[in-house]
Amino acid sequence: MKRAVSRLCLLMLLVGPNLALAGPPQPARQEAGFKLLGDLVLLLDKAGRGGLDDGALGAGILDLSKALAAARDTQRVDPIFAVRYSRLLSAIRQAVLRDPDLLYWPMYRSSMIAFIEERTGRLPDWDKLRFVVNDHGGSGVGLAMLVEAVMGEVVSLHLHLETLDRRADVLRGYLERSAK
């Protein structure tokens, strides 16, 4: 009995502070996140239709990064959303980065491959990835290689924002079931 109580106390110490963080969000947190996602999708759509060159796309990503930083600093976005959205912007930026001498590729290839695998559930085709990097001026991995992973993360972040207000109840339910 003492052992079960000590486990429950340990669990509450580890998870308890997270209950406060998982509390109901302010609608502004969700709205700011939804706006950032919408702006990113519009930027990528414009780039995909040929309406932006790599320079304008890179500038657009930097603008979104600045908007995220401002929203994060004023607590208008959820901290988890901010970390994941920042990683998404980084992956896109790396995909369009010009690297004709392949100087950057060894440093970010593992993170790009991991990002693609985490968002799609499968490793990218190494031969296809190497072809894109080596035979096309070393311009990152290209947005076409990342489109499924990027849009998968956009959907995942959208669902994250939609369910913020239910997270405390879900966590409480797990704690109650484990206490029995």
The per-residue pLDDT string of the chain (180 residues; one tens digit each, 9 = 90 and over) reads 444 444 444 344 444 444 444 443 457 778 999 999 999 999 998 988 888 887 888 899 999 999 999 999 999 999 999 999 999 999 888 877 776 677 777 777 788 888 888 998 988 877 776 655 554 444 445 667 788 899 999 999 999 999 988 988 988 999 988 887
| Residues 131 and 14 sit within 8 Å (Cβ to Cβ) | no
Domain interval for residue 70: 26-166
Instruction: Output the pTM of the full model.
Output: 0.76
Torsion of CA 158, 79, 143, 36, to 10 degrees: 60
Q: d(Cα 134, Cα 179) in Å, to the nearest integer?
A: 55
Helix or strand (DSSP H, E) at 92: helix 79-96
| Residues 119 and 149 sit within 8 Å (Cβ to Cβ) | yes
Instruction: With respect to residue 15, please indicate whether it lies within any of the assigned structural domains.
Output: no
| Residues 89 and 65 sit within 8 Å (Cβ to Cβ) | yes
Instruction: With respect to residue 125, please indicate whether it lies within any of the assigned structural domains.
Output: yes
Q: Give me the number of domains the chain comprises.
A: 1
Instruction: With respect to residue 5, please indicate whether it lies within any of the assigned structural domains.
Output: no
Q: What is the pLDDT of residue 37?
A: 97
Q: d(Cα 124, Cα 73) in Å, to the nearest integer?
A: 35
| Residues 168 and 22 sit within 8 Å (Cβ to Cβ) | yes
Instruction: With respect to residue 155, please indicate whether it lies within any of the assigned structural domains.
Output: yes
Q: What is the pLDDT of residue 66?
A: 98
Instruction: With respect to residue 1, please indicate whether it lies within any of the assigned structural domains.
Output: no
Q: What is the pLDDT of residue 74?
A: 94
Q: What is the pLDDT of residue 1?
A: 46
Instruction: With respect to residue 108, please indicate whether it lies within any of the assigned structural domains.
Output: yes
Instruction: With respect to residue 171, please indicate whether it lies within any of the assigned structural domains.
Output: no
Beta strand spans in 5-160 (E): none
- Where do we find the tokens 């956009």? 154
Q: What is the pLDDT of residue 2?
A: 46
Alpha helices in the chain (DSSP H): 2-21, 27-48, 54-73, 79-96, 105-120, 126-135, 143-162, 167-179
Instruction: With respect to residue 17, please indicate whether it lies within any of the assigned structural domains.
Output: no
